[in-house]
Amino acid sequence: MEQCAVTTAVPLAPRVRVILANPRGFCAGVRMAIDVVDQVLDVIDERPIYVFHEIVHNKHVVARLAGRGAVFVDDLDRVPEGKIVVFSAHGVSPQVREHARLRNLTAIDATCPLVTKVHSEAVRYARQGYQILLVGHRNHQEIVGTSGEAPEATQVVESPGDIAKLKIIDDSKLVYLTQTTLSTDDAGVIIDALKRAFPKIKSPPSEDICYATTNRQHAVRMIAPRCDAVVVVGSKNSSNSVRLTEIALNVGTPAILVDEVGELPDPLPWKGKEGAISVMLTAGASAPEDLVAAICRRFVERFGATLEQWDIVDEDVEFNLPATLKRMMTRKGIDPESRRIRVVKAPISSDTYGATALTVSAGKARA
């Protein structure tokens, strides 16, 4: 009896198209905070250098700086008297600053300037006799620091459900401020509820949610509905990275938050159209670009992906160094102006990302 060979068709892997969002990743405030620690380690010979709290909410950044000699502490009493301590990007309260002074610590302030702006608003409104309704996550370091500027005048509002529990003295002397890394959608829901409850409530003179948070969220809203999936690079304790994931899910696109390339699913669980999958790739403001590049290389090498970069907003932001660090540099003969911190769009090369990327402006992007 003649036997026939039986072949089993092997399904072809789907074509993968990775769409890199611009902007993504580090904002100028995060870049400044990380560079401050790096430059302190460059300029100062003593080790270790102490940092109060994680400099940013990303375990890879923290691990790299720890490898250079930074020690991260959650209690200033763990810092030996007279040593250097760097305050993180999320800011600290006046009580923490005073504690550092009493311990004779040399404090270098790496607080994001946009967080400092909210601190200044809290101080100003409290002096004017306003009660401050601070919209944000109660235990987030930024909220702890901001509320510490005027603790007697400040109440934290995490959700519309908190409004009924507020203790209001005079509803004509109310102002709301917000955590800089909130989702604009989430903040909007709470702010609208506050305005319904207290029609006379005052708004801050300018938007508290930072430009980088707003731009990255806007990019997700623009791109995610045109993709089959969204991959957000960031740590689970990064508020803004979590928000990006939630926004993608809210517009109806499957989304995952990954800390590194090893967390990328294989095989890819998403379905596309006609054998092709479009994946949006973005990163929270505290996620370094080398993690994004590693995920791009995996997409290219494992799935034969093509890369595109969709330009939604071009950022070009520059921040100055903290005054204490500038004085240290000057004493070492280093010109601080040569070390200013600037954040621009990252160039994409095949060596780093696995392929070159077609750049598409927002107005010309196709689904």
How many other C-beta atoms are found inside a 10 Å radius of the C-beta of residue 140?
19
Residue 120 DSSP SS3: helix
d(CA 51, CA 107): 10
Edge-first strand order for the sheet with 154-157 is: 154-157, 131-135, 174-178
Tell me which of 54, 121, 142, 149 is the catalytic residue. Answer: 142
β-pairing verdict for 154-157 and 229-233: unpaired
Place of tokens 């959650």: 74
Residue 363 DSSP SS3: helix
d(CA 299, CA 305): 5
Residues 267/269/274/275 CA torsion (nearest 10 deg): 0
Residue 149 is a catalytic residue: no
- Phi, psi values for residue 174, rounded to 5°: -120, 145
**Could you give the residue numbers annotated as active site?**
142
